[in-house]
Structure 1
Amino acid sequence: MKLLRTLFVFSFGCGVLGLLVAIAVAVYFSRDLPDVSELKDVQLQTPMLVYTKDGVLISQFGEKRRIPLAIEQIPQQMKDAFLAVEDARFYEHPGIDFIGVTRAFVSLVLTGEKRQGASTITMQVARNFYLTRDKTYRRKIREILLAWRIEQLLTKDQILELYLNKIPLGQRAHGVGAAAEVYFGKTVDELTLPEIAMIAGLPKAPSVLNPIYSVDNAVERRNVVLSRMLAVEAISEEEYQSAKHALLEGKYHGPSIEMNAPYVAEMARQYMVEKYGEEQAYTSGFKVYTTIDSKLQQGAIDAVVQNLLDYDHRHGFRGPIANPWLVQQDDQEDPVLVLPETPWTQQQMLDYLKPFRGYQRLQPAMITEVGEQSATVLTRRGITGSINWQGMNWARRFITDERQGAAPKVAADILQQGDVVMVEAAADSMFALSQLPEASAALIALNPQDASIQALVGGFSFGQSQYNRAYQAKRQMGSNIKPFIYSAAFNHGYSLASLVADAPISHWDASSGVAWRPKNSPEVYDGDTRLRLGLAQSKNVMSVRLLRAVGVQNIRQHLSKFGFPLEDIPPNESLALGSASFTPLAVANGFAVIANGGYQVTSYLIDHIDDQHGNRLFKHQPLVACPECEQLDESMTEFDGLTEFASIAADQFVMCPAYPVDQNQQAPHVVSSTNTFLVTQAMNSAIWGGGNWSAGTGWNGTGWRAARALKRRDIAGKTGTTNDAKDAWFSGFHPGLVATSWIGFDDHKRKLGSTVANSNLGANQIVGKEFGAKTALPAWIKFMQVGLQNMPVQPFTAPDNIVSVRIDRASGLLTHSTDSSTRFEYFEAGTEPTQYAESISHPVDPFIESESQATDSADELF
């Protein structure tokens, strides 16, 4: 009995001492424990998502991929799998599994090694949110204490939800939602049992147990999870056997991007980083909704890609990218093809192709066989196919941008075995030969009412070049500037019927010692010509004469109303021919002002931003063109090229019934609607021409291809080409959509060149010098074929102060005749002619100043 009492006292003392030590340890390690109450409102690091305005995902930014899920959204089988392998008694213990702790302690005593951690799911939550993964006693004690606190704060389901959303699962995937997407390209509710078990097995060692790293490792671990699920009766024997033998592939699945618009996505990313900072932008789960229309964006991408390929093909084939069997020999100028003694296997060819990457719809491929007028290819993706003659007969040799070789007759004129080339996929394992374009292009489309960006393409491929030419590249406008010059002229007494001399100009510039001779392109001169024809046919010398008559400074001030920075507008006569350099976005914005009736709107891309829970954080409030809101024409006063509104009382503003905005959102009316209507009329003629073809008075505008393709009267546009065709433009609009197309080389010195006919191709091929009408307009047409599909015909409506009278085509004066030599013309009320053509022998335009009065110089641009 004495011994028993002694043992009891000793045991009791040890127990008390142990309890005191435990309390002391708990108090000691609790001093600097974090406050777990924040877990109630924890914000998981979630990537930024960028959408179109119609909710199509175009990009995701952030180091960690995570798709937060509520516990109700996670399948029961997924929860069962994690519980079976990680914490089978999760719903029974208070955050610390004492059975597991005992087992780990015994293992430590017997082996002297920390082989078992005895961590519960609650303890893992504590570690994942607050601690490191270091295997130290200090960390373990803190982990236990935090787990206990978490259990007092949250329900079991809340803890499990945090765990399944926070746990790192390899390949930058955090949480089961992201893991389902990364490894299987699915949502969690689409996963099969074998896939669920594979994901549940990852927490032990996510970097080496995932199928992308090792399928064998992943299968072995998956089967361990399945056996645990069977042991706890979460699945049946039949389910176990079926899942255990299921095949597993190791493939990375990127974010579920529904549309590839990287130039737009990068603009949105830059905006968010500037607004919120890099760390917050990438981790706060922002949902960024752009103004992009997904249908129009895809149309813009297709238009730019096709137009660049068409331009590139007509200038010739630059040869293969590489050929592993070409050998340079001393007695040969060009490398010689030396085939290997042992033919390469398909795997050797695929290994050789691996470093080459595809762009847009182009993919690298190796020529494995060359026939008379066909070739066999193996693509980088392992697909074998053929290129027929129609898929390669364009490929005459490229010599320079101005010259091409003879049209090929057989496939051997183009290709040889081993050539690595770019191909485009066609139907039924057929391919077409192609090449990566060297020229660049951009296309930008806006809603003219508020200048919201509807579509934006900054180049052929973001993978090829991240330089966004749509809003970063300042290029000379060429004749794209002329509508703005004519707008200034209409403000200074000119009309669509005013006559200006279309005749050569030769002006001696004493400062340079040379004569300046701007020319039309082509060099055709028609004498006195009405302004409607002058703009529609892009007469250079008429534009110069208008600038001289109105004055360079007046023109510059007027151009600034369209959003063009005054400091970027040259103060000399070269301005008349487009020497000013602006981005395609700025050009489109300027044309939006014409399209909306003269309201100065400013382009924008971000419509609104939501947090990860859908709460609205930001909504853009654009300035909107709203003719119904107010009548400003009589109240406008000119001041330094802008409009002074100080005298306009606030009660003059009313809500616009078509576009509800308050007075702070109404865009300033900087150019009268009468003025923009007249400009639009001339731009409409640039597409549709005029006259009567059957009577011999018909004529084409420079954009006649748009009329032929679109067959709509409610469009207006203007071509543009710079000196030596280094830049080609087409800008145009429907009342509901403005678009600008640009094409050129990033090397400002390189010309777009010219082509001759390829005898292998049909009659509709583009030949001759590259101009806006041939080189930029096709992309605009292809885009507008998509953009106008759901837009009803909307004729250009004349403002109330526009009158229409019949004029004589030759003189621009009134006429009593009604034959084909006359037409009805629009005028601002009070500016229509008062004299009749029959009474005037030689009409003279009173606004033209003599050439000797002009002193500014200009470069030759057209």
Structure 2
Amino acid sequence: MKYIKPLFFITIILGILGTATLVGIYFYIKPDLPSVTVLKDVRLQTPMRIYTQDGRLISQYGVKRRIPVELDNVPQQLIDAVLATEDSRFYEHKGIDPIGIVRAAINLAVTGEKQQGASTLTMQLARGFFLTREKTYIRKIKEIFIALHMEQVLTKDEILALYLNKIELGHRAFGFGAAAQVYYGKPLSELSLAQLATIAGLPQAPSVLNPISRPDRSVERRRIVLMRMLDEGFITRQEFEEAANAPVTARKHGAEIEVDAPYLADLIYSEMVEVYGKEEAETGGYQVYATAPSDLQRAAQQAVLRNLHDYDERHGYRGPLMHLWGDQQEATDAEAEEAKLTDGPTPRNRKTDWDEASLVEALKKIERIYPLVPAVVMTVDEQSVTTLTVDGEKITVAWEGLDWAREYITDSRQGNEPETASDILREGAVIYLRQQEGDWRLAQMPEVSGAFVAMDPDNGAVRAVVGGYSFYKSQFNRATQAKRQVGSNIKPFVYSAAIEKGYTLASIINDAPINQWNAATGVAWRPENSPAEYDGPIRMRKALGKSKNVVSVRLLRGVGLRETAEHIAKFGFEKDDIPLDETLSLGSGSHTPLEVVRGMSVIANGGFLVRPHFIDRVLDEEGELLWQTQPLWACDPCTDNDGEEGGLPEDDVEAMLAAQLNQNGVTTDKKEAEQKVPAPQVISAQNAFLVADMMRTGVRANGSWNKKTYWLGTGWRARNLLQRTDIAGKTGTTNDSRDTWFSGFHPDLVATAWVGFDNPNRQLGRATRNQNLINRNPEKFNWIGNALIGTEDGAKAAGPAWIRFMQEALADTPHTPMPIPENIVRVRIDRTSGKLTRRTDHTTLFEYFIQGTEPSVYVRDDEVIDPAVEDENETPEPEEIF
């Protein structure tokens, strides 16, 4: 008894001390314990995913890859594998496993090392959410307290679901949904038992047990997982044998990108970061839907790439990137510099020094940018070459893919047409190839740049945007960031100002040279037409269609410089970018393609200034609508608003938006989102209609060839190729062809294409005649010949991109006549004088006028000019296109 009493007191004292110690430890770590609210509202750090309007994945942003899955959608075999391997008594314990703790304590006592952590799933989850992986006693104690706390506020299924979605599994995959995508490129539901067992074995050491970095260790770990499943009765012996002996099929997969549109994705990402902040945008699980459908975005990208390559081929071949064998003394300085810049492979003296495997490895060092494929020339025949690509494929390039490759001398000079393949390439040359309409062609990285924007004129939804040849080569978005001189693309806005001033489409302006002396500078300003041809008195419609420079200057003078500048600003152009001198009329102002397409939309939609936007809607990580973009609509009235009148003044619209919406023009109210907010009407519907109809003239052939009234609009090829009458367009070319544009629209779609060099001082130059291309298709050359030769301009350089895009975009769109607004009348006028006429022959035509502005005087018979009689001995030639 004498020992029992002291032992009893010692036990009590130790119990008190132990309890006090536990209480002390609890209060010590209490500040680090998560609150019940945090545990109840645990948010997975899910990446932001950006989709096209029709749900095709464009991009994914966020360091951690995560694809949340509901517990009901997780394969039972994966749950069995995880529980058997990590915590077989998960549904029996209260957050800590006493058996596991005893086992770990015995191991520590025997070995002196912390080899076993005795962590349950709940403890692993606690560590993953709130702690680190450091092996310290205080971290383990914190882990235990947090685990006990979690078991009190969360159900077992909630804890298991969080674990399956949270745990780190290597290669930046967090959660088993992401691991299935990263390692196998499939959803969890499609994985085999072997694959499920592989990823189930990753939580222990994801960096050294994953099947990509360490396939051997992964196979060993997979066998252990399968053995535990067999021991627990989850699988049969046959299933174990089949899965344990299955081959390793894992390889690294990125996000399931369906449409590669990085310029569009970057615009949307930047807007989301502006709204939510970088961390929240990248981890909040937002699903963002663009306004651009996948088919139009793809069409725009292909149109830009094809157009830039076409320009590049017209101006000659700059030579191979380098040579892998042959006489290196023949290699040009440019080749050597290119090899240095790309950190390319090291050349060897002879072809026999290379085998196919080493050639492929060498080609992998060459920068690969879609659609360019690195290749090496293996053999050179008379009019073809055989190549080996970086993918190990042997490809023969026929003469049709080589004959364009005249030597590039300058942007305005090309060498002679090649006659044989050896005039272009020799064995060992490292080149780029690309496919065009299924055939392989010799290619090179274009030095010229381009941009493209397409927009719905009714609500400003951007339907396609391309900021350059390759986002991976240059992240500078020329569609939204590059302010370049717009050239003749400004003229529709100048003509709109003239109509506002009282001019009509039949007004006669003198197309004659201007020679204005400036006494202050001692220099004469002599704006010229391009080409330098002058028609004398000319109707305003024809002057815009033929892009007469001096007429634009005269209209500016008739309206007034400041009045014209103020009118142009109504179309959404920044006032500071509008020059206050007469060069304004020729497009000396600099604007972005997005600004130009917005301005053109005013003409297309009847006079309303809509607001360009790239995001249609945003969903949260559960797929619930978070907010919907609320655009401005070109409507008057907007009948969807229960008869509410539209066309409000711009200041009133902005005030309304400030009250209803946040600064990004979005709403979280579904009913509010369905209502149409009217855009400000900045020009009248009549003004917009007349300018649009003039622009229709610019994309067609006009008059009669036989009656000598024939003339071409500067963008006539658009009408010829599209075979539509419901389109309108305007070319644009600046001095010395530094910037070229083509802007135009269908009633449902407006688009702008720009081509130029990033260096604004570099001219686009001219292309000389390539007889090889003419010989191949002489009939085609007869009507597009001047597209292949001569000085680059808006019609040649930018127009083809616009045309190819519209061919795709309008392929299934029925003909849509341009609606004629009220107070527009149509009368017959004399073709030359613009006066009323009673004649009905080829010397007359019908013209539109705003009611009350139509001519009131009839042309006299002695004033009528009949070109067919006056020039009956002459044969008219098609005019040079500007």
Q: What is the TM-score normalised by the length of structure 1?
A: 0.91
Whether 1:677 aligns to 2:689 is: yes
Which amino acid in the other structure matches residue 200 of structure 1? A
Which amino acid in the other structure matches residue 785 of structure 1? Q
| Deviation readout 1:589-617 (Å, 9 max, x if unpaired) | 00000111111112111222222123433
Tell me which of 462, 471, 474 is aligned to 2:471.
Answer: 462
Q: How does 1:189-588 map to 2 (within 5 A)?
A: 189-325=189-325, 329=329, 339-340=349-350, 342-425=352-435, 431-588=440-597
2:353 partner SS = coil
Tell me which of 611, 624, 635 is aligned to 2:633.
Answer: 624
Contact 2:545/2:697 (CA < 8 Å) preserved in 1? Answer: yes
Which amino acid in the other structure matches residue 180 of structure 2? A
Contact 1:803/1:826 (CA < 8 Å) preserved in 2? Answer: yes
Name 1:26's counterpart in structure 2. Answer: 22
* Distance of 2:676 and 2:696 partners within structure 1: 33
Instruction: Give the deviation of 1:506 after TM superposition.
Output: 1.6
Name 2:660's counterpart in structure 1. Answer: none
* Distance of 2:407 and 2:386 partners within structure 1: 20
* Distance of 1:63 and 1:680 partners within structure 2: 48
In structure 2, relative to structure 1, the CA distance for the partners of 1:99 and 1:422 (3 Å cut) is same
* Distance of 2:114 and 2:648 partners within structure 1: 83
Higher mean C-alpha deviation, range 810-819 or range 289-298:
289-298
Instruction: Give the deviation of 1:770 after TM superposition.
Output: 0.9
Whether 1:726 aligns to 2:726 is: no
Instruction: Give the deviation of 1:468 after TM superposition.
Output: 0.2
| Deviation readout 1:426-445 (Å, 9 max, x if unpaired) | 799x7321111111101101
| Deviation readout 1:129-169 (Å, 9 max, x if unpaired) | 11111111111122122222222222221111111111001
2:849 partner SS = strand
Q: How does 1:154-193 map to 2 (within 5 A)?
A: 154-193=154-193
Q: How does 1:16-55 map to 2 (within 5 A)?
A: 19-31=15-27, 32=30, 33-37=32-36, 38-55=38-55
2:170 partner SS = coil
Instruction: Give the deviation of 1:25 after TM superposition.
Output: 3.6
Instruction: Give the deviation of 1:842 after TM superposition.
Output: 9.4
Name 2:877's counterpart in structure 1. Answer: none
Contact 1:396/1:406 (CA < 8 Å) preserved in 2? Answer: yes
Higher mean C-alpha deviation, range 143-152 or range 829-838:
143-152
Contact 2:646/2:679 (CA < 8 Å) preserved in 1? Answer: no
Which amino acid in the other structure matches residue 746 of structure 2? H
Contact 2:81/2:197 (CA < 8 Å) preserved in 1? Answer: yes
* Distance of 2:16 and 2:419 partners within structure 1: 97
| Deviation readout 1:522-570 (Å, 9 max, x if unpaired) | 1221111111110011111111111111111111010011011111111
* Distance of 1:521 and 1:329 partners within structure 2: 46
Which amino acid in the other structure matches residue 195 of structure 2? E
| Deviation readout 1:389-427 (Å, 9 max, x if unpaired) | 222221111111111111112222112222221112479
Name 1:654's counterpart in structure 2. Answer: none
Instruction: Give the deviation of 1:47 after TM superposition.
Output: 0.9
Runs of at least 5 residues in structure 1 that lack an aligned partner in the other structure: 649-658, 844-861
Which amino acid in the other structure matches residue 710 of structure 1? L
Tell me which of 690, 713, 727 is aligned to 1:715.
Answer: 727
Contact 1:96/1:123 (CA < 8 Å) preserved in 2? Answer: yes
| Deviation readout 1:37-96 (Å, 9 max, x if unpaired) | 222221111111112222222111111111111111111111111112111221222222
* Distance of 1:427 and 1:678 partners within structure 2: 39
Name 2:868's counterpart in structure 1. Answer: none
* Distance of 1:131 and 1:356 partners within structure 2: 44
Contact 2:483/2:592 (CA < 8 Å) preserved in 1? Answer: yes
Contact 1:321/1:421 (CA < 8 Å) preserved in 2? Answer: yes
In structure 2, relative to structure 1, the CA distance for the partners of 1:206 and 1:759 (3 Å cut) is same
Which amino acid in the other structure matches residue 29 of structure 1? I
Instruction: Give the deviation of 1:629 after TM superposition.
Output: 3.7
Which amino acid in the other structure matches residue 377 of structure 1? T
- Tell me how large the CA RMSD over aligned residues is: 2.8
Name 2:833's counterpart in structure 1. Answer: 811
Contact 1:214/1:250 (CA < 8 Å) preserved in 2? Answer: no
Instruction: Give the deviation of 1:634 after TM superposition.
Output: 14
Instruction: Give the deviation of 1:332 after TM superposition.
Output: 10
Which amino acid in the other structure matches residue 411 of structure 1? A
Runs of at least 5 residues in structure 2 that lack an aligned partner in the other structure: 337-346, 657-670, 866-881
* Distance of 1:677 and 1:11 partners within structure 2: 104
Name 1:848's counterpart in structure 2. Answer: none
In structure 2, relative to structure 1, the CA distance for the partners of 1:108 and 1:410 (3 Å cut) is same
* Distance of 2:116 and 2:333 partners within structure 1: 71
Higher mean C-alpha deviation, range 107-116 or range 26-35:
26-35
Instruction: Give the deviation of 1:382 after TM superposition.
Output: 2.5
Aligned length: 825
Q: How does 1:718-797 map to 2 (within 5 A)?
A: 718-761=730-773, 762-763=777-778, 764=781, 766-797=788-819
Name 1:655's counterpart in structure 2. Answer: none
Which amino acid in the other structure matches residue 75 of structure 1? P
In structure 2, relative to structure 1, the CA distance for the partners of 1:10 and 1:91 (3 Å cut) is farther
| Deviation readout 1:345-391 (Å, 9 max, x if unpaired) | 22322222222222222121222232222222222223232222222
* Distance of 1:661 and 1:427 partners within structure 2: 43
Higher mean C-alpha deviation, range 24-33 or range 714-723:
24-33
Which amino acid in the other structure matches residue 83 of structure 1? L
Contact 1:329/1:335 (CA < 8 Å) preserved in 2? Answer: no
- Aligned-pair identity in percent equals 50
Higher mean C-alpha deviation, range 346-355 or range 109-118:
346-355
Tell me which of 710, 715, 719 is aligned to 1:698.
Answer: 710
* Distance of 1:153 and 1:520 partners within structure 2: 80
* Distance of 2:672 and 2:280 partners within structure 1: 34
Higher mean C-alpha deviation, range 475-484 or range 603-612:
603-612
Instruction: Give the deviation of 1:325 after TM superposition.
Output: 3.2
Instruction: Give the deviation of 1:23 after TM superposition.
Output: 2.9
Instruction: Give the deviation of 1:327 after TM superposition.
Output: 6.0
2:246 partner SS = coil
2:161 partner SS = helix
Which amino acid in the other structure matches residue 34 of structure 2? D
Instruction: Give the deviation of 1:792 after TM superposition.
Output: 2.4
Contact 1:49/1:60 (CA < 8 Å) preserved in 2? Answer: yes
